């Protein structure tokens, strides 16, 4: 008997024996799980609050716990480090080509935030946080997503009162009544199109055939050539400079931009104060910072790197503030500021407008 045949026969006999044993009576393997073992796995937190442990935690404590356990991956304010997930911001971006899906912009239930941290975080040290610590971290995440104030305390008592902004946009799976009927009819295999034509190009991912991309590039070039020439013999650069100069001359505070900047500034309030009665905290007072020399707030202990740049004549004008807010550690080496930066140009412009609006 060949080796293959022997193996096949043995497998058939084993299968027959196993089938008959299962049909006849249980194999007697394992045992019933105890109540304690079931409870150890039954830890899910549901949207209605079922499963929530008794406990509480506030924003201030959450900031410290988050900085110690979470910021290395998610950034001090949930802005994300490198390719680690972003946890804050993204509001209003879900209809964009590249939506930012964060706790504040996308997640439907707060229970998911608590449940995930409870089960899986911190990375590499899961289940190491106490219930109160998790409540505090969740409270802080609500704060950096502009959903609560800095004196907020979260507990099992008020947990279900927090409604996430995107919850109304979620609905029960209805594919059995929508998609299934739509795709269950007989497939038509007659009068098919004689040829396939590419009508759209893929965004970001470079998968569109080269000839389509080349055609689009040629159309763009043709559009540029046919653009109307600048009036009165001016060069394009000169013509473009005039509106810019006019804009600068009529530049006035934009109330909407300032209001947006005040909202973005909530990410800074953990370390900085501004306005009447402000005092130095982890970071210096920011009242009147626009146009102020660097490292000039009395009574604040600046980093060595900041002092060196101040000695070189650094002034916090709008351009320097924009660069610093983009990536602080790249602009000022060894700065004490742990914030990773504001990636969106609009957020930086808004916060600078807000800082300018608060008079010293």
Domains and CATH numbers, the chain: 56-169 (1.10.760.10), 258-357 (1.10.760.10)
How far is Cα 88 from Cα 102, in angstroms, rounded to an integer? 6
Q: Judging by beta carbons within 10 Å of its beta carbon (0-12, 13-18, 19+), is residue 1 exposed, middle or buried?
A: exposed
Q: Name the CA dihedral angle for 85, 91, 92, 96, rounded to a multiple of 10 degrees.
A: -10
Q: Is the bond preceding 122 in cis, omega lying within 30 degrees of 0?
A: yes
**Structural contact between residues 213 and 201, judged by C-beta atoms closer than 8 angstroms:** yes
Angle separating helix axes 345-357 and 318-326, nearest 10 degrees = 130
Q: How much is the pLDDT for 18?
A: 47
Report, as ranges of residue numbers, the positions in the chain whose pLDDT lies below 50. 1, 3-9, 13, 16-22, 212, 229-233, 235-242, 244-250
Matching residue, tokens 């800082």: 355
Give the SS3 label for residue 57. strand
Separation of alpha carbons 158 and 61, rounded Å:
18
User: What's the confidence (pLDDT) of residue 157?
Assistant: 97
* Nearest in space to 215 (alpha carbons), one of 203, 191, 199, 237: 199
Tell me, what's the pLDDT at 74?
A: 92
Q: Which two tokens stand for residue 134?
A: 């998790």
For 295, other C-beta atoms within 10 Å of its C-beta total 20
- pLDDT recorded at residue 277: 87
Say if CB 212 and CB 201 are below 8 A apart.
yes
Torsion, Cα of 230, 233, 234, 235 (10° steps) = 80
Residues 238-252: b if buried by 16+ CB within 10 A, e if exposed = eeeeeeeeeeeeeee
- What pLDDT sits at residue 200? 78
CA distance 111 to 115: 6
DSSP codes joined into one string, 266-308: GGTTTT---STT---SSS---TT-TTPBTT--TT----HHHHH
Q: How far apart are CA 356 and CA 129, in angstroms?
A: 41
User: How many CA within 13 A on the CB side of residue 124?
Assistant: 4
pLDDT at 328: 87
pTM, two decimals, is: 0.53
Dig out the tokens for 90 from the structure: 């993204």
3-class SS of residue 239? helix
- Could you tell me the end-to-end alpha-carbon distance of the chain, in angstroms, rounded to an integer? 97
Total Cβ atoms within 10 A of residue 322:
16
Distance, CA of 235 to CA of 158 (rounded, Å): 64
């Amino acid at each position: 008997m060949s080796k293959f045949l022997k193996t096949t026969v043995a497998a058939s006999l084993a299968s027959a024996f196993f089938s008959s044993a299962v049909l006849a009576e249980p194999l007697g393997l394992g045992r019933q799980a105890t109540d304690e073992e079931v409870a150890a796995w039954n830890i899910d937190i549901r949207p209605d609050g079922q499963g929530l442990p008794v406990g509480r935690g506030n924003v201030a404590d959450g900031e410290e716990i988050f900085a110690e356990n979470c910021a290395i991956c998610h950034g001090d304010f949930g802005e994300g480090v490198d390719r680690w997930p972003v946890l804050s911001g993204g509001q209003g971006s879900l209809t964009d080509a590249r939506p930012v899906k964060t706790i504040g912009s996308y997640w439907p239930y707060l229970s998911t935030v608590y449940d995930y941290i409870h089960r899986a975080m911190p990375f590499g040290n899961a289940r190491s946080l106490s219930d109160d610590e998790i409540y505090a971290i969740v409270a802080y995440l609500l704060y950096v997503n502009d959903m609560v104030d800095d004196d907020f305390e979260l507990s099992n008592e008020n947990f279900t009162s927090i409604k996430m902004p995107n919850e109304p946009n979620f609905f029960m799976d209805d594919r059995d009544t929508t998609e299934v009927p739509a795709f269950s009819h007989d497939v038509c295999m007659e009068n098919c199109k004689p040829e396939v034509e590419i009508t759209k190009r893929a965004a970001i991912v470079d998968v569109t055939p080269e000839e389509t991309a080349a055609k689009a590039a040629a159309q763009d070039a043709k559009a540029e050539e046919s653009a109307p020439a600048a009036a009165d013999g001016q060069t394009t650069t000169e013509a473009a400079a005039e509106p810019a100069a006019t804009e600068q001359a009529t530049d006035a505070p934009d109330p909407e931009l300032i209001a947006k900047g005040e909202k973005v500034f909530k990410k800074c309030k953990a370390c900085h104060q501004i306005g009447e009665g402000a005092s130095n905290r982890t970071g210096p007072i920011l009242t009147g910072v626009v146009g102020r020399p660097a490292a000039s707030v009395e009574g604040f202990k600046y980093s060595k790197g900041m002092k060196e740049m101040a000695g070189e004549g650094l002034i916090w004008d709008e351009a320097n503030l924009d660069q610093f807010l983009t990536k602080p550690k790249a602009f000022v080496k060894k700065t004490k500021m742990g914030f990773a930066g504001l990636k969106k140009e609009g957020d930086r412009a808004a916060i600078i407008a807000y800082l300018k609006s608060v008079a010293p």
